[in-house]
Structure 1
């Protein structure tokens, strides 16, 4: 899984670090920032369009379907052409869509933009994870957790800034600021990303077909039940805090912000933790923390304690998904782009499609039973945790 010392030291440097390492981290940051900026907009969007939780669930489903459609396409294209060219296209296309979503006047146009937004976020996700795997292999050590740490940091900034900007500048002002910040960061780093285009021989060897090995599908299931709780917090935490606990929009935005903060902190520490204790042990401990945090949020009597529960859940979920993705990019006999596309499609259905079902259920039962159910689902991830061994890098 490692390359020669000369290949590791030949990479261009930026601020004393590998330029390709910095570039892919900034793209994770930008992607997370856009998604985090979307979360606090949901209650505002519901009020503007005068829609219920069920209708909002359908719009969230459109976001998820867009990603599910685009992820396999992005995976196939990266397997044949490398992640760099795909990453450049989808990164530039996704930046203005949050602004377009804000300007959409009615439900139909909103659904179309949300579908496109979800598709490009998903395509970018596959491409940047594949690019991160390429950088991991060149460096000969794990970086995936810290890359996802930058995603969580971006989501934290997007969620926290979203609450402030929505309250002070309104929906349109918030969208303009978010678009400018994400656009500038993306444009600056795209020329520096790792160029991982395969040789003609590799293209011929990597046939675009579903692998016969069960490994990517099992790792995908492991990712799926790690990401359903994350999707529940991303899309419904603000509404849960507002409707069930009478929190203000500023306080409600802190639910996902606290979750993202602890995720970011633990993901930046996650590569070292995984290197020291192994991916399997790390995943299992994280799973226990995730279950405890979700349970606290479900039964907490005050909004402040709900936010504490989300923060504990963030500690647990932090490294479960990066470990699954790193394992997917290093499965024996499976090209990185194909393995990652299968795992991301399967896993992200938990963060993109499952929340729409959560909306329907929560409208009838409330959010507390749903959050308890998502905690129980993590047991599936723990039962498959031995597959995380493919995410281990040797100390060599």
Structure 2
């Protein structure tokens, strides 16, 4: 299936992916400004970002219930909540209040994230086609565009709140087009058995590795370029933008590759490629080399998270799909608990070069996890799985 046909089929959740990408790309480009207005050290700023992680993980547990209550309006509610939540952090100068504001951001972002991924997984099962990479590619593309625009607005001296408010207005216009009813599937006699804890744990840990790596580069790449390598504001914003651009390319390419190769093969290759990029970024002598490293890292890590989320949707019974994706996302997004804090502590103690070296080691952990997950029996879309591996 081509990227365009995949996006046409999943256009409603794809729009939700764009919304999340726009806001997080804007935030990544403004990290140096927001960190400065808080007067926080690396370690403290990393700890403050735990606020968003707290909200994210809380939303992951609440998302299945919210999805049942809101039904077709669940994604719309998530978009509106996210637009409102993101107006708070750019205006705050007190560290504690900033952490609380980021918790509201995480709560809204997490709710929307689970619901939109569940909708994509439902469409994959209904049409027996891979769709996850194309949708995550839209997130990365929106993230990159937003980071680039934010870099120019920073150079022009626009306050962060003006940029975030502008994005909120754009995203609110999209709300009427994001309505999509969930697919309600009842359990059958073939679905009896134990709760699929092992598939959720393995796939969740794969997603954890990917999202921890993404989170560290998103939050710290601009600082690495500006502080370690002496770049300016626009050069710093190009760091997360480069990550977003190459992740979009990787995910759109992964959409095509996913129809031809097994998940384990893709994750094996992606883990090695992304680790190589992290090493290049760590030892870069100038911004240009750092961009190369971020780009290679983005190409590799781009497909690991979507593959993990898509994989669990095929390893569990259909009536458990939304709940399984939610639980997998809980494990994956818990990386936002550890990544900012660990990156801040490592940067404070050893510098950002060593911290990015740690990202490379983390990415290699995806390889054995993917091998173990590939040995589990597939319970959904079995014909699609067999066609890829035959």
TM over 0.5: yes
Distance 1:82 1:138 in 2: 21
**Shift of the alpha carbon at 1:22?**
1.0
- Does the Cα contact within 8 Å between 2:7 and 2:131 map onto a contact in 1? no
- Does the Cα contact within 8 Å between 1:81 and 1:198 map onto a contact in 2? no
The runs of 5 or more residues in structure 1 that have no matched partner are: 1-14
Equivalent position of 2:254 in the other structure: 270
- Does the Cα contact within 8 Å between 1:95 and 1:183 map onto a contact in 2? yes
Distance 2:257 2:343 in 1: 33
For 1:84-95, what aligned pairs fall within 5 Å after superposition? 84-95=72-83
**Shift of the alpha carbon at 1:104?**
2.7
**Shift of the alpha carbon at 1:351?**
4.0
- Does the Cα contact within 8 Å between 1:49 and 1:106 map onto a contact in 2? yes
**Shift of the alpha carbon at 1:86?**
2.7
- Does the Cα contact within 8 Å between 1:142 and 1:271 map onto a contact in 2? yes
Distance 1:83 1:388 in 2: 33
The runs of 5 or more residues in structure 2 that have no matched partner are: none
Distance 1:373 1:136 in 2: 35
After superposition, the Cα gap between the structure-2 partners of 1:179 and 1:388, relative to the gap in structure 1 and judged at 3 Å, is farther
Structure 2-normalised TM-score? 0.89
Distance 2:268 2:126 in 1: 28
Equivalent position of 2:40 in the other structure: 51
- Does the Cα contact within 8 Å between 1:324 and 1:388 map onto a contact in 2? no
Equivalent position of 2:14 in the other structure: 25
After superposition, the Cα gap between the structure-2 partners of 1:333 and 1:125, relative to the gap in structure 1 and judged at 3 Å, is same
- Does the Cα contact within 8 Å between 2:279 and 2:356 map onto a contact in 1? yes
Equivalent position of 1:302 in the other structure: 286
Equivalent position of 2:27 in the other structure: 38
Distance 1:39 1:177 in 2: 16
**Shift of the alpha carbon at 1:109?**
2.6
Q: Pairwise CA RMSD of aligned residues?
A: 2.6
Equivalent position of 1:198 in the other structure: 184
Structure 1-normalised TM-score? 0.87
After superposition, the Cα gap between the structure-2 partners of 1:306 and 1:18, relative to the gap in structure 1 and judged at 3 Å, is closer
Residue 327 of structure 2 is aligned to residue 330 of structure 1: no
**Shift of the alpha carbon at 1:82?**
8.1
- Aligned with 1:282 (options 266, 271, 274): 266
Single out whichever of 294-303 and 346-355 deviates more from structure 2: 346-355
Distance 2:71 2:292 in 1: 38
Equivalent position of 2:357 in the other structure: 372
Distance 1:266 1:379 in 2: 18
| Count, aligned residues | 374
Distance 1:40 1:252 in 2: 7
For 1:329-368, what aligned pairs fall within 5 Å after superposition? 329-333=313-317, 335-368=320-353
For 1:1-396, what aligned pairs fall within 5 Å after superposition? 21-78=10-67, 80=68, 84-168=72-156, 169-185=158-174, 187-191=175-179, 193=180, 195-198=181-184, 211=195, 213-333=197-317, 335-386=320-371, 387-388=373-374, 393-394=384-385, 395=387
**Shift of the alpha carbon at 1:182?**
2.1
Query: What secondary structure does 2:103 align onto?
Result: helix
Distance 2:374 2:108 in 1: 28
